[in-house]
Amino acid sequence: MRMRKKKHCDERLEKCSSLWIKNPEDYIGKWNEIFGNSNPIHIEIGCGKGQFVCNMAKEHPDINYIAIDVVPDVLVIALEKATAQEVENVRFIIADAMKLCEYFEYDEVKQIYLNFSDPWKKNKQAKRRLTHKNFLDIYKKLLKEGNLICFKTDNKALFEFSLNSFTQENFKLQNITLDLHNSKFEGNVMTEYETRFAEQGMPIYRLEAKYIGWKDE
């Protein structure tokens, strides 16, 4: 569903300018200066309305979070939420995931979260999925061996596609569950979508993909 345009979006973004990084390319290799510490950096690609990243930041004050979304009308809601809750260890950028290497250096990001990404259901749209090889190749330029991508979705077809994609691109899969909320997994933090799906009794699929290095061509 397309997000309806928010009234006065630009003005609302400006009111949250302390957490909104307008020119992320200026901080490549220097993100710890933004936070004023050397804590590890985790990023969420497609942060939606910000429930997940705000709660993660509050639960893990020793980790710095950067939330990314390509749609300003979505990101402004997340920004306002973080500002109202006075979350200090999170920043937001409006960006396309294809440009991540312009914003982060190798090993600057320690973990990536992909939560309820658009499944792009038609086969001809597969290249737009955030777990397609094209995107995984970008993530591999950022991650050090052993770093994780944590992936959650309600879409079974996307999950199966992602299982194959991660495996083919030299990620080791772990903590795979086909029904997260009825599993033994601890420490789950829910997104807005996930909360709604859980109330409807829908299964949530989750995995962790550990990067184990570039394959020899």
Of 107, 114, 138, give the one whose Cα is nearest residue 209: 114
In a domain, 70, yes or no: yes
> pTM of the predicted model, to two decimals?
0.93
Cβ atoms of 188 and 52 closer than 8 Å: no
For residue range 108-137, what is the model confidence (pLDDT) as tens digits? 999 999 999 999 999 889 999 999 999 999
> In angstroms, rounded to a whole number, what is the distance separating the alpha carbons of residues 109 and 105?
8
For residue range 91-110, what is the model confidence (pLDDT) as tens digits? 999 999 999 999 999 999 99
Length of the chain counted residue by residue: 217
> In angstroms, rounded to a whole number, what is the distance separating the alpha carbons of residues 114 and 15?
27
Radius of gyration of the chain (CA): 17
In a domain, 68, yes or no: yes
In a domain, 13, yes or no: no
Out of 118, 137, 179, 216, the active site residue is 118
In a domain, 15, yes or no: no
Of 179, 199, 180, give the one whose Cα is nearest residue 188: 180
Catalytic annotation present for 118: yes
List C-alpha distances in Å: 121 to 24, 28, 127, 128, 168. Answer: 31, 33, 11, 10, 20
The parent domain of residue 141 ranges over 30-211
How far apart are the two ends of the chain, measured CA to CA in Å? 39
Q: What is the CATH number of the domain that holds 169?
A: 3.40.50.150
In a domain, 8, yes or no: no
Burial status of residue 177 (CB atoms within 10 A of its CB: 0-12, 13-18, 19 or more): middle
β-strand pairing of 41-45 with 90-94: unpaired
Q: How confident is the model at residue 213 (pLDDT cuts 50, 70, 90)?
A: confident
Query: pLDDT above 90 covers what percent of the chain?
Result: 91
Based on the structure, what is the number of domains in the chain? 1
Structure tokens at 50: 């910000």
